[in-house]
């Protein structure tokens, strides 16, 4: 919208042009979740700016509850400072926080004593996240599924869709989508490609 406005395109024309836009897979794509919920699938990669944008987008959705599933920020040290700004945004835009992997500690420290901190659930594996979402999501909920590339949180969506996903490693170095991975129905890729089994 901003780029179109800068080029002099009227807002109505821009809105009409993007009305049928469907985001790329893993890039803020809304998909049906369990029990009448919606999942905002933003699980391909995570950088600080994209994490902040995803959290703001979650806050802008009409939802009974907003659940943020966060699998970490990519190529950044997993420290309190890395997560300070996202934590502030999460307090404003999320009702429940599910952390996956190493980001759990920094979020726990930053959100201690807050309403959101009291909701934090810390999980390690995609299977645990899928089971939690299947059990806890209800009609009207919107869940943001956001994480770095090595967390491969697309496996959560695949499990929820009923796909036979046996790969449950915590962190994988393969740079391919889970949908096309030959190790999806196995215990996971060989050891050289696994960062955390």
SS3 for 30? strand
The pLDDT value given to residue 35 = 94
User: φ, ψ for residue 20 (rounded to 5)?
Assistant: -100, 10
Q: Which residues pair with 144 in a beta bridge?
A: 40, 68
Say how many C-beta atoms besides its own lie within 10 A of residue 50's C-beta.
Answer: 17
Taking alpha carbons only, the member of 133, 57, 128, 146 closest to residue 93 is 57
Query: Residues 183-193: pLDDT tens digits?
Result: 888 888 888 88
Pairing of strands 38-42, 142-146: parallel
DSSP E strand stretches across 5-157: 29-32, 38-42, 66-70, 96-100, 121-123, 142-146
Domain extent listing, the chain: 23-163
Architecture of domain 23-163: Alpha-Beta Complex (3.90)
Report the C-alpha gap between 103 and 72 in whole angstroms.
5
Say how many C-beta atoms besides its own lie within 10 A of residue 79's C-beta.
Answer: 12
The pLDDT value given to residue 94 = 97
The residue ranges of the chain whose pLDDT is under 50 are none
Report the C-alpha gap between 73 and 52 in whole angstroms.
10
């Amino acid at each position: 919208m901003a780029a179109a406005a800068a080029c002099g395109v009227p807002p109505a024309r821009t809105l009409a042009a993007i009305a049928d836009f469907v985001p790329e897979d893993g890039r803020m794509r809304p998909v049906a979740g369990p029990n009448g919920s919606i999942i905002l699938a933003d699980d391909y990669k995570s950088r600080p700016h994209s994490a902040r944008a995803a959290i703001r987008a979650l806050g802008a959705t009409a939802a009974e509850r907003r659940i943020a599933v966060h699998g970490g920020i990519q190529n950044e040290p997993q420290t309190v400072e890395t997560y300070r700004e996202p934590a502030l945004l999460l307090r404003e835009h999320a009702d429940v926080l599910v952390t996956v992997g190493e980001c759990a500690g920094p979020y726990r420290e930053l959100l201690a004593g807050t309403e959101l901190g009291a909701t934090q659930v810390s999980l390690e594996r995609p299977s645990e996240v899928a089971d939690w979402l299947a059990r806890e999501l209800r009609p009207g909920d919107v869940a943001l599924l956001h994480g770095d590339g090595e967390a491969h949180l697309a496996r959560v969506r695949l499990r929820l869709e009923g796909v036979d996903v046996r790969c449950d490693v915590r962190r994988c170095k393969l740079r391919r989508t889970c949908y096309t991975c030959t190790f999806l129905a196995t215990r996971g890729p060989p050891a050289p490609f696994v960062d955390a089994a």
